[in-house]
């Protein structure tokens, strides 16, 4: 049976002996980088520390009733897809029409997962329900090229030599330059580049490899390489996908790596964080874990590092389970991601060009004011929210001030009554996010 490898270029503490468990590309990539840039290992360790520091600063900013985002609404990151496949591979996913369909379904899936709209979050065990996070980042398909001309959001190169890329150890760099048979990246300070290719490491299929921002990685390699049969979401039984990898979660996982999330088990060869040489993902609210989990486990699941309830968080997006078995980021993981888009952080510049992108229409702003009633307005501090639809679930409430800053966030609210008495008098926007979209209302605190 062909193995499946999900490769993260900065998860370098992995032992080569774990190759049989689809994890070997990290070490190979690090070794190659160390040959050309001996300082790489220490740089990556430092960048990981900086990512955690940025996350802590982000959390502190929320406690201080401010935000490190530049606007009070969900930020938008432009995405461009570079398709580098041969004729047979392109035909297997439906030709140009199939590519466009997969791009659309992929972005829908990605945006659901990053905006708290994935329906399967209802499967999160009660023990972790309070940890579930709406990251609050939208990914929009590029509508303008770097030269200002229009684009469908992708370019295609019909590959001849090579049509299969095996240089996983260099971040699949040959797919990222036209001279070596791939496609050149667009300005990676404005666009998040994703290459859709056929990747192999020996006889094993590679689902993804991510080169995150940061000085340790060559500029041209920054971005995500995605296996073409793990791209998009299944809409019919006849479509070609890797087995049980057909809900778009590979890109959700790789995008987490792009924003400096690590695998939940820490890529330490099966050790626990308390063991000599042991490591974990550096995230406080993900349980310790010995090694990757696969397929579709049954809750609760225990291992050598989490021996008691609630066990291992195998449904986390940074796991190796099947697409249908992963359905959550935690609040601390969200803080790491949001820390990376904060002012002066690695990916801040990507958030500054929403005009370059079009977000899929599946995340509508619900404009029918009669669907929601927020009262009393004006208020002296206590609000009630009534939504006239039993089919919609309120997932987040954000309070935005006139400077566009989020001054209060309530995730997975257990009550439709909000206490705003801690806020200063003035005008605010109440942003209510439901599983089907977002409604924003103006309120006055007296």
Residues 6+ apart with CB under 8 A from 445: 378, 379, 380, 381, 420, 423, 424, 425, 426, 427, 428
Alpha-carbon distance of 328 to 130, in angstroms, equals 11
SS3 278: coil
Identify the helix (H) or strand (E) that includes residue 343: none
Taking the CA atoms of residue 153, residue 112, residue 200 and residue 25 in that order, the dihedral angle to the nearest 10 degrees is 110
Alpha-carbon distance of 280 to 311, in angstroms, equals 15
Burial 196-235 (b: 16+ CB within 10 A, else e): bbbbbbeebbbbbbbbbbbebbeeebbbbbbbbbbbbbbe
Lay out the sheet containing 437-445: strands in order across: 406-411, 394-400, 426-434, 437-445
* DSSP 8-state class, residue 378: S
- Antiparallel, parallel or unpaired: β 75-85 and 137-142: parallel
Alpha-carbon distance of 143 to 148, in angstroms, equals 9
3-state helix, strand, coil in the chain (%, to 5): 30, 25, 45
When computed from its CA atoms, the radius of gyration of the chain, rounded to whole angstroms, is 22
Helix (H), strand (E) counts: the chain: 6, 18
Alpha-carbon distance of 427 to 442, in angstroms, equals 7
Identify the helix (H) or strand (E) that includes residue 178: none
Under 8 Å between Cβ of 110 and 255: yes
Residue listed under structure tokens 């070609």 = 240
254 is catalytic: yes
Catalytic-labelled residue, pool 56, 239, 242, 254: 254
Token code pair at residue 177: 């330059």
- Antiparallel, parallel or unpaired: β 75-85 and 154-158: parallel
Active site amino acids = 254
């Amino acid at each position: 049976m062909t193995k499946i490898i999900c490769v993260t270029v900065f998860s370098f503490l992995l032992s080569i002996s774990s190759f049989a468990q689809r994890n070997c590309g990290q070490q190979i990539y690090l070794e190659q980088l160390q040959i050309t840039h001996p300082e790489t290992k220490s740089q990556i360790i430092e960048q990981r520390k900086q990512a955690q520091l940025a996350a802590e600063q982000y959390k502190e900013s929320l406690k201080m009733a401010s935000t490190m985002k530049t606007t009070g609404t969900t930020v938008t990151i432009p995405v461009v897809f570079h398709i580098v496949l041969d004729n047979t591979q392109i035909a297997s996913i439906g030709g140009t029409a199939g590519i466009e369909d997969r791009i659309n379904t992929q972005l829908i899936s990605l945006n659901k997962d990053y905006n708290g709209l994935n329906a399967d979050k209802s499967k999160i065990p009660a023990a972790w329900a309070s940890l579930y996070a709406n990251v609050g980042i939208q990914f929009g398909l590029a509508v303008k090229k770097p030269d200002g001309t229009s684009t469908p959001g992708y370019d295609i190169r019909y590959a001849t030599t090579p049509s299969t890329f095996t240089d996983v150890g260099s971040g699949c760099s040959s797919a990222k330059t036209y001279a070596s048979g791939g496609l050149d990246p667009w300005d990676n300070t404005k666009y998040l580049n994703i290459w859709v290719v056929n990747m192999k490491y020996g006889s094993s299929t590679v689902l993804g490899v991510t080169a995150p921002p940061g000085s340790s990685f060559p500029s041209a390699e920054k971005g995500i390489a995605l296996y073409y049969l793990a791209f998009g979401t299944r809409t019919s039984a006849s479509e070609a996908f890797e087995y049980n990898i057909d809900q778009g979660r590979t890109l959700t996982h790789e995008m987490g790596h792009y924003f400096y999330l690590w695998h939940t088990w820490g890529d330490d060869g099966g050790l626990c964080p308390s063991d000599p040489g042991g490591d974990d993902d550096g995230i406080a609210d993900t349980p310790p874990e010995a090694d990757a989990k696969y397929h579709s486990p049954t809750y609760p699941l225990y291992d050598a590092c989490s021996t008691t309830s609630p066990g291992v968080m195998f449904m986390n997006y940074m796991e190796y389970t099947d697409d249908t078995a992963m359905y959550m980021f935690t609040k601390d993981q969200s803080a790491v991601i949001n820390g990376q888009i904060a002012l002066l952080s690695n990916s801040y510049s990507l958030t500054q060009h929403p005009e370059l992108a079009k977000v899929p229409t599946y995340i509508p702003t619900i404009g029918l004011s009669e669907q929601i009633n927020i009262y009393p307005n004006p208020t002296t501090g206590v609000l009630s929210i009534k939504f006239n639809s039993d089919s919609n679930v309120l997932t987040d409430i954000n309070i935005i001030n006139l400077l566009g800053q989020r001054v209060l966030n309530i995730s997975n609210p257990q009550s439709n009554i909000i206490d705003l008495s801690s806020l200063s008098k003035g005008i605010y926007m109440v942003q209510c996010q439901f599983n089907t979209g977002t409604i924003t209302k103006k309120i006055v605190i007296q």
